[in-house]
Amino acid sequence: MTWTRSFAQAALAAAVVAGLLPAIPAAQAAPDSSVAASADAPSKAATKLDIPLDVHLGYKPQKQCSPAAKPGAKALLKTLIKNFGGKSLGISRSCGAGGRSEHKEGRALDWARNVKYASQRRSANKALKWLTANNGEVARRLGVMYIIWNQRIWSTYYPEMGWRKMASRGSYTANHKDHVHISLSWDGAMQRTSWWTGKPVLSHPCTSKACPKGHVKYPQLTLTRPFAKKVAPEPFVPYPGPMPEISGSPIVGQILGVSIGNDKSWSPAWRLGKAVDCPKAAKCSYQWYRGKKKIRGATAATYRVRAADKGKCLNVEVTIRYKGKTGKKKAGETTYTIKGWVTKAPAPKLPKTAAVGDKLVARHDPWQPTTVKPKYQWLRDGKPIKGATAKAYVLKARDLNHKIAVRLTGSAKQIAAKSVTSNATKVGQKSATPTPPT
């Protein structure tokens, strides 16, 4: 992808073109299971419906006290129990118990599965594969925010990070070893998402209990819907909400952006409408933070995550100036930054045959992240050739009748090493120059 002025704008545009997200106005395979027939649901033989994935606001923690179990949480919990076994450990939690939790808004569920038992581990893993396959296709359609199981967390808004280890919370239960926890967005909680309604949420996602329950077209507690496959896009770009939100995942070497939101609670340009990018009539500036400290020189709309960020939370403050007025707002912090990896490692393509004396050159496209500069090691029949570590290699007499290849290994600070090997060249003898007639 070519990054233009705005990371969020470019990423969102790509998703729109792919049909995975709607346009923003200016202002792992599941077990095979049939959808039960109903008056509204298409028949089993019907053509798959090309329905976009629902928009998503990203992580929105509990802010209200509304512990009554919401319909989407109840339906998802019943679906898990019906198809994978186990039982409910509850949805609602008293608002006076413990710290912040979506249980206190009735939009989080606990499903009993215990890592001690192989059968329960298998059923839990099957369920989680169903939810998270294709970068979380089903999770997006259900309005899942995040899932915790066996001291690991998976987040809809960090698809590139996959399952990541959590710090110990002390007890077996607190570390989610005897249950799976799933928190939902308000759209998911109120059963307004495409998994239940057949109509994706494409604008104005729900932000509180005030949203009405969705019109459920597919009440079946099955694992399939008659929808065409969709892969949730990377990077995740949150739908514009009240405040700025960071796009992308905090991985060393990756690029973060910001969806500015542009809400009247803080922005003087709010009448121009909520937006991913800075409104054209306004002027926006940015300051990125590592924890509570400003990152020197990090004042663009995008930020490439640095090695120094590992283990730290990142944030960005957006400043909007419009008609002589100024507004500032920080986004919500990212999770802890993790070590990066090589995301693109094209291998060189060598000729199938060459002769002694010929020069082979390891030409290849750039690796990503761009901070990774691969090193070269030429191989004879798969074994390293001593001293042959340049980009080019001249074939020698000892290479005759052998196969020559080159291995590239790339890494950078806080980016894990990756190696790729080219195809092999069969080395022959140079053809003799014909003697001219006398």
pLDDT digits (tens, 9 = 90+) for 135-162: 999 999 999 999 999 999 999 999 999 9
Residue 435 pLDDT level (bands cut at 50, 70, 90): low
**pLDDT on residue 238:** 93
Residue 438 pLDDT level (bands cut at 50, 70, 90): low
Check for a shared fold between 245-338 and 341-428.
yes
Q: What is the C-alpha separation between 285 and 298, in angstroms, rounded?
A: 11
Enter the pTM of the model.
0.81
pLDDT higher than threshold 90 for residue 10: no
Q: Which residue ranges make up each domain of the chain? A: 49-232, 245-338, 341-428
Per residue in 301-331, is it b (16+ CB within 10 Å) or e — as a string? bbbbbbeebbebbbbbbbebbbeeeebebeb
Q: What is the C-alpha separation between 9 and 26, in angstroms, rounded?
A: 12
Kindly report, residue by residue over 287-319, the tens digit of the pLDDT.
999 999 999 999 999 999 999 999 999 999 999
One CATH from 2.60.40.10, 2.60.40.2700, 1.10.10.10, 3.40.50.720 for 341-428: 2.60.40.2700
CATH topology for 245-338 is Immunoglobulin-like (2.60.40)
**Could you tell me which residues come within 8 angstroms of residue 254 by beta carbon, excluding any fewer than 6 positions away?**
160, 235, 248, 304, 305, 340, 343, 369
**pLDDT on residue 332:** 92
- Counting residues of the chain whose pLDDT is more than 70, the rounded percentage is 88
pLDDT higher than threshold 60 for residue 17: no
Kindly report, residue by residue over 229-282, the tens digit of the pLDDT.
999 999 999 999 889 999 999 999 999 999 998 889 999 999 998 888 999 999
- Counting residues of the chain whose pLDDT is more than 90, the rounded percentage is 82
**pLDDT on residue 241:** 86
Q: What is the C-alpha separation between 256 and 236, in angstroms, rounded?
A: 10
| Residue 153 token pair | 């967390």
Percent composition of the chain: helix, strand, coil (DSSP 3-state, to 5):
15, 25, 60
Q: Is 316 helix (H, G, I), strand (E, B) or coil?
A: strand
